[in-house]
Amino acid sequence: MRSLHIRTHANPSETVGSASQGEGDQQEDTSSYKYKLVTFYWLTDIEDPDGLVEAHRDFMKSRDCKGRIYINKQGINAQLSGMGTDAVDYAAFVMSDSRFEGCAWSVFPVEDHQFPRLALRFKPNLVSFEGGTQHLPITDSTQRATKIKPLEFRSKIQEALGGAKPYVLLDVRNDYEWDAGHFLGAERPSNQRFRDTQLDAPGEPLHGVSKDTPILMYCTGGIRCDVYSTVLRERGFKEMYTIEGGVQAYLRDVGKENWDGELFVFDDRLATPNVPQDPEGEGMKAHVGDRPCFCCRQPVAAPPHRNCANVDCNRLFLVCANCLQEHTAHCSAECLECSTRQRPLTLNHGDTGRYNKWHQYAAETVSVRGGGRGRRRQQKRERTKAREMELALEAVKNGDFQSEEIANSRHSRRRMERRVEAARLLMEAGELPSDVDVQALKEAIVAMYERQQKSQAA
């Protein structure tokens, strides 16, 4: 497996193009690669996340980077690709901040950008989890699982597989990630999204397990283990271990010992190592793999995953060549029969799972698109705006315009701040009655905006 460097404070001028290998492999010269993929995260208290976002955006203005970079009061989570050393330069810029001292980053050589655009913004939760993460002590390392080196993790897995110690091997990922590859002895997760993870619920690996049982938990890069281990700690589990650097570090340092399959990743590669592509642009090559096909359940599918062609399903799944053709890239016969909005089988540029946007398809190549999605989006926008007004009203009635709920609102941060500030000004001006309701507050804010516009126009 072509893998990565992990450095704590690298010199951006250093060569990052040589990829380290698993045990016994030879290093590969990657200096010819035009792009680098960089991933890292760090959990720490940030007093001014908005200011940090702006500083990072300023740094990025002259650099060719695309990816996802999320910052909030609990730290940073970043996956990005960049031309030349642009992405590595950004990582070094981040590590130059004393708040991120000790943070390591991972570098992969890639052929092109691995993300469609750059999203660098404040996000209330660094990872999506039901109920959010603000109430979890994820910045307190004593509340998280103990990080151990990949070689030590291998030793503990061998002890577990050999029955020497009663470890529980816990996969803190999604079901489709497990399908691509997993540690031997780890049960398949039942959730399709990390936000729904409840590994101690009935039927899950930790249900009925003694709180004193040691747990070996793993995920791709480590952040999901850090978050979920604080949940388990609050529920009484005492001894938890996770891999320093995640599975990607294990595959780099140890190789595929005790690992079955490939590693699912959340970028255009979808799985590592990269899978050969069809030069004719028909997506996945029809080569036989050893992973279970989602449709026929036979062990003949090969990574990477693909999305169901039914837009309303969009499931990520592994599929064999026969089922791919039989179901025309749908994950089931039901999706094939009921779908009113279907993607064409051919993918853009022959990639592994990303489809073009609807407007990029010729009209005759797609099924008629209904209006259901547009209506649902509009309804969601209306619910969001209504909740924003409710929060603003609560601020007026409580006299608390800096509440934690407002600061950590999942809604548009700038819009939320504008509404609350408008409510505060109206209250101070005495323009709000004591029995003001949401509708009256909304009308008052709209009227204030109109007065401001007329004043500016004059």
Separation of alpha carbons 92 and 96, rounded Å? 6
Cα 390 from chain centre: 30
Ordered alpha helix ranges (H), 217-320 = 223-234, 246-253
Residues in Cβ contact with 450 at an 8 Å cutoff, skipping those fewer than 6 apart? none
Active-site position among 65, 103, 219, 308:
219
The dihedral region occupied by 21, where left means phi > 0, alpha psi between -120 and 50, and beta the remainder, is beta
Q: Are 331 and 316 in contact (CB under 8 A)?
A: no
Range list of β-strands (E), 306-453: 306-307, 316-317
| Rg (the chain; Cα; Å) | 25
**Nearest CA among 171, 192, 142, 138 for reference residue 260:** 171
Phi, psi angle pair for 171, to nearest 5°: -90, 110
| 225 in active site | no
Quickly count: other Cβ atoms within 10 Å of residue 156's Cβ.
17
Tokens of 207: 């249900």
Q: Which residue has the tokens 């970043």?
A: 78
Active site residues: 219
